[in-house]
Amino acid sequence: NLKLIAKLGTGLDMIDIPAVLRRGILLCNTPGANSVAVAEHPFALLLGYLRNVPQCDNAVRTGQWEKARTMGGEICGKTVGIIGLGNIGSRVASRMAGFEARLLGTDPCWPEALAAKYGIERRELNELLAESDIVCVHCPLDETTAGFIGKAELALMKPSALLVNMARGGIVDEDALYEALRGKVISGAIIDAYSQEPLTASPLFSLDNVILSPHAGAFTTDALNAMSRMSVDQLFQYVDGAMPDNLVTAE
């Protein structure tokens, strides 16, 4: 008897879309409602990594006052490569510009106006990986991006570079990432999405040059309220006999 699925958030990879289509079920999502939350989360994790925030907190709590041991880095002046300049990636770019970073980007649908506004230099993927100090992944997971960042791609990055994946776990080969981090092929990583979720066991747990987050980019009260209101509006539209907003599939 299912007639409508109102999905909080944009991602649909957890929904059996062919089955939805076969049954004539309407499917809606909430694009844009959590974009700010997801775009801000990389900065929380990135600044935490660069400024050794967990170590600073632990040091003070345990009676240590050794500033030299918490020596960190800055975003300002770094070259930041953004893979995917859609709804989230574009917001990340605008915020990175505020940190006075040099911006590189790659996207099959190149956003000319956005690039001009924030001075984003267009690069092919391999060029972006080789030039960037920080690589941020914000592309969707599909047949063209599954395993997009593997052993060969990681080897192109600078030994001092950081990889930030806030998109989907299947985009980055986690086994290759582990080996790259363990072997110092790259300096560090920040991961918020995994090929298997929840992540209950991983060799990444043994590394101190990675920060792990439980796919929490969209989890702010502001974003949850916005997504919930949009989904409820879609339900009322359907009950009132209208086609809901943000319809992904239809009978």
Q: Which are the catalytic amino acids?
A: 168, 197, 215
Let me know: does 90 contact 109? Beta carbons within 8 Å.
no
Give whole-number Cα distances, 111 to 135, 164, 223, in Å: 18, 21, 25
Q: Classify residue 33 by its DSSP letter.
A: T
Q: Classify residue 169 by its DSSP letter.
A: G
Listed in sequence order, the residues at least 6 apart from 6 whose beta carbon sits closer than 8 Å to its beta carbon are: 28, 231, 232, 234, 235, 244
Listed in sequence order, the residues at least 6 apart from 60 whose beta carbon sits closer than 8 Å to its beta carbon are: none
Angle at 234 between CA 230 and CA 240, to 5 degrees: 140
C-alpha span between 153 and 185 (Å, rounded): 11
The closest of 5, 7, 8 to 26, measured between CA atoms, is 5
The closest of 49, 37, 8, 55 to 166, measured between CA atoms, is 37
Let me know: does 239 contact 4? Beta carbons within 8 Å.
no
